[in-house]
Amino acid sequence: METIQSIRPLLAVLVSLVTAFLILALDKKPNVRDTVSFVAAIIKFSIVASMAPTILSGGTIELNLFTILPGIEFKFKVDALGMVFATISSFLWVFASVYSVGYMRSAHEKSQTRFFACFATSLSAAVGGAFSANLFTLIIFYEVLSLVTYPLVYHKETEEAWEGSKKYIVYLVGTSKVFLLLGVVLTYYLAGTLDFMPKGLLANVSASPLLLTIVYFSYLMGFAKAGIMPFHAWLPAAMVAPTPVSALLHAVAVVKMGVFCVLRVVLNVFGQDLLGSLDLGIVTAYIASFTIIMASIYALTTDNLKTRLAYSTVSQLSYVVLGVVLLNPVASIGGIVHIASHAFSKITLFFCAGAIYCSAHKTLISELSGIGKKLPWTMTAFFLGSLSMIGVPPAAGFISKWYIAVGSIEAKEIFFLIVVLVSALLNAGYFLPITYKAFFEKENNHSHHPPDKNFQGLDSGHHEDVKEIPMVAIPLFITGIISIIMGMYPDYFVQLAKVALGIPH
Amino acid sequence: MVDILNNYPILTLVTFLPLAGAIILLFMKDDNAIRWTALCFTVADFVISIPIVCFFDTSTHRMQFPERYPWIPSWNINYAMGVDGISVLFVFLTALLGWICVLASWTAIEKKVKEFMIAILVMQTAMIGVFCALDFFLFYIYWEAMLIPMYLIIGVWGGERRVYAAFKFFLYTLAGSVLLLIGILVLYFAGGKTFDILALMNQRYPFAIQFWVFLAFFIAFAIKVPMFPFHTWLPDAHVEAPTAGSILLAGILLKMGTYGFLRFSLPMLPEASHYFTMPILLLSLISIIYGGYLALAQEDLKKLVAYSSVSHMGFVTLGLFVYNTNGLEGGILQMLNHGITTSALFLCVGVIYERTHTREISAYGGLAKVAPIYTTFLAIFTLSSMAIPGTNSFIGELLILVGAFGYNKIIAALSIIGAGLGAAYLLGMYKRVAIGKVNEHVKEAWDINAREIVAMAALVIFVIWIGLYPKPFLNILHASSEHLLQQLAIR
pLDDT, tens digit, 9 for 90 and up, residues A426-467 = 999 988 988 888 888 877 655 545 555 555 444 444 445 777
In a domain, B315, yes or no: yes
Q: Which residues of A touch B419 (CB under 8 A)?
A: 177-178, 181
pLDDT in tens, B391-419: 999 999 999 999 999 898 899 999 999 88
pLDDT at B3: 66
In a domain, B320, yes or no: yes
Nearest to A152 by CA among A122, A120, A123, A115: A115
Q: Is B388 on the interface with A (CB under 8 A)?
A: yes
Helix axes B31-54, B113-132, angle to 10 degrees: 10
Q: Is B471 on the interface with A (CB under 8 A)?
A: yes
Q: Which residues of B touch A173 (CB under 8 A)?
A: 423, 427
pLDDT (average), residues B105-129: 90
Measured CA to CA, the distance from residue B262 to residue B242 in angstroms comes to: 29
Tell me the three-class secondary structure of A451-484, residue by residue: CCCCCCCCCCCCHHHCCCCHHHHHHHHHHHHHHH
Measured CA to CA, the distance from residue A197 to residue B44 in angstroms comes to: 50
Q: Which residues of A touch B469 (CB under 8 A)?
A: 66, 68
Chain centroid to CA B98: how far?
12
Give me the total of CB pairs closer than 8 Å, taking one residue from chain A and one from chain B: 68
pLDDT at A495: 87
Measured CA to CA, the distance from residue B418 to residue B396 in angstroms comes to: 14
Measured CA to CA, the distance from residue A462 to residue A469 in angstroms comes to: 16
Measured CA to CA, the distance from residue B120 to residue B271 in angstroms comes to: 39
| Closest by Cβ to B389, choosing from A140, A170, A188 | A140
pLDDT at A460: 43
pLDDT (average), residues B80-98: 92
Burial of B311 (0-12, 13-18, 19+ CB in 10 A): buried
Higher-pLDDT residue of A358 and A86 is A86
In a domain, A420, yes or no: yes
With bands split at pLDDT 50, 70 and 90, how would you rate the model's confidence at B342?
Answer: very high
Measured CA to CA, the distance from residue A357 to residue A176 in angstroms comes to: 34
Measured CA to CA, the distance from residue A216 to residue A16 in angstroms comes to: 33
Q: Is this prediction's ipTM beyond 0.90? A: no
Measured CA to CA, the distance from residue B455 to residue A161 in angstroms comes to: 36
pLDDT in tens, A373-389: 888 888 889 999 999 99
Helix axes B233-240, B301-320, angle to 10 degrees: 130
Query: Above pLDDT 70, what percent of chain A?
Result: 95
In a domain, B367, yes or no: yes
Nearest to B249 by CA among B153, B141, B322, B390: B153
Q: Is B192 on the interface with A (CB under 8 A)?
A: no
| Closest by Cβ to A174, choosing from B398, B424, B470 | B424
In a domain, B324, yes or no: yes
**Contact in structure between A52 and A91 (CB atoms under 8 Å):** no
pLDDT (average), residues B293-312: 90
For residue B110, count other CB atoms closer than 10 A to its CB: 10
A189 to B389: CB separation less than 8 angstroms, yes or no = no
* Separation in Å, CA of B152 to nearest CA in chain A: 40
Angle at A224 between CA A220 and CA A227, to 5 degrees: 95
Any idea what DSSP says for residue B67?
Answer: E
Indicate if the pLDDT at residue B345 is higher than 90: yes
pLDDT in tens, A42-64: 999 999 999 988 888 888 898 88
Measured CA to CA, the distance from residue B188 to residue B202 in angstroms comes to: 13
pLDDT in tens, B346-363: 999 988 888 888 888 888
Q: Is A71 on the interface with B (CB under 8 A)?
A: no
Burial of B269 (0-12, 13-18, 19+ CB in 10 A): buried
Burial of A70 (0-12, 13-18, 19+ CB in 10 A): exposed
Query: Facing residues of B135 across strands?
Result: B196
Any idea what DSSP says for residue B133?
Answer: B
pLDDT at A446: 52
Indicate if the pLDDT at residue A249 is higher than 90: no
- Backbone phi and psi for residue B374, each to the nearest 5 degrees, phi listed first: -60, -45
With bands split at pLDDT 50, 70 and 90, how would you rate the model's confidence at A406?
Answer: very high
DSSP string, B26-46: HT---HHHHHHHHHHHHHHHH
Domain with B350 in it: 282-491
Q: Which of A137, A140, A177 best tests the B interface by mutation, with the highest count of B CBs <10 A?
A: A177
- Backbone phi and psi for residue A78, each to the nearest 5 degrees, phi listed first: -90, 120
In a domain, A474, yes or no: yes
Q: Is A185 on the interface with B (CB under 8 A)?
A: yes
In a domain, B276, yes or no: no
pLDDT in tens, A68-91: 888 888 899 998 999 999 999 999
Q: Is A76 on the interface with B (CB under 8 A)?
A: no
Task: Among A164-173, A403-412, A441-450, B303-312, name the one with the lowest average pLDDT.
Answer: A441-450
**Contact in structure between B325 and B407 (CB atoms under 8 Å):** no
SS3 B265: helix
- Closest-CA residue of A relative to B391 is A140
Q: Is A288 on the interface with B (CB under 8 A)?
A: no
Measured CA to CA, the distance from residue A352 to residue B457 in angstroms comes to: 45
With bands split at pLDDT 50, 70 and 90, how would you rate the model's confidence at A319?
Answer: very high
Nearest to B422 by CA among B345, B332, B330: B345
pLDDT at A457: 46
Beta strand A3-5 pairing with A60-69:
parallel
Domain count, chain A: 1
Measured CA to CA, the distance from residue A38 to residue A40 in angstroms comes to: 5
In a domain, A124, yes or no: no
Q: Is B419 on the interface with A (CB under 8 A)?
A: yes
HSE-up of residue B95 (Cα within 13 Å, Cβ side):
28
Indicate if the pLDDT at residue B11 is higher than 50: yes
Angle at A493 between CA A492 and CA A495, to 5 degrees: 70
* Separation in Å, CA of B246 to nearest CA in chain A: 28
User: Measured on CA atoms in the order A461, A462, A467, A473, is the torsion positive or negative?
Assistant: positive
pLDDT (average), residues A239-266: 88
Measured CA to CA, the distance from residue A493 to residue B456 in angstroms comes to: 47
pLDDT at B132: 92
In a domain, A66, yes or no: no
Measured CA to CA, the distance from residue A481 to residue A345 in angstroms comes to: 9
* Separation in Å, CA of A162 to nearest CA in chain B: 8
For residue B451, count other CB atoms closer than 10 A to its CB: 13
Domain count, chain B: 1
Task: Fill in the amino acid letter for A211.
Answer: L
In a domain, A224, yes or no: no
SS3 A146: helix
Measured CA to CA, the distance from residue B434 to residue B452 in angstroms comes to: 18
SS3 B195: coil
In a domain, B431, yes or no: yes
pLDDT in tens, A93-137: 899 888 888 888 887 777 888 888 888 899 999 999 999 999 999
Domain with A384 in it: 279-446+459-505
B185-189: long-range pairs with CB below 8 Å, 24+: B186/B212, B186/B213, B186/B216, B187/B136, B187/B213, B187/B268, B188/B136
In B435-449, alpha helices (H): none
pLDDT at B356: 81
Nearest to B425 by CA among B307, B345, B340, B282: B307
Measured CA to CA, the distance from residue A11 to residue A160 in angstroms comes to: 38
Nearest to A55 by CA among A16, A17, A9, A94: A9
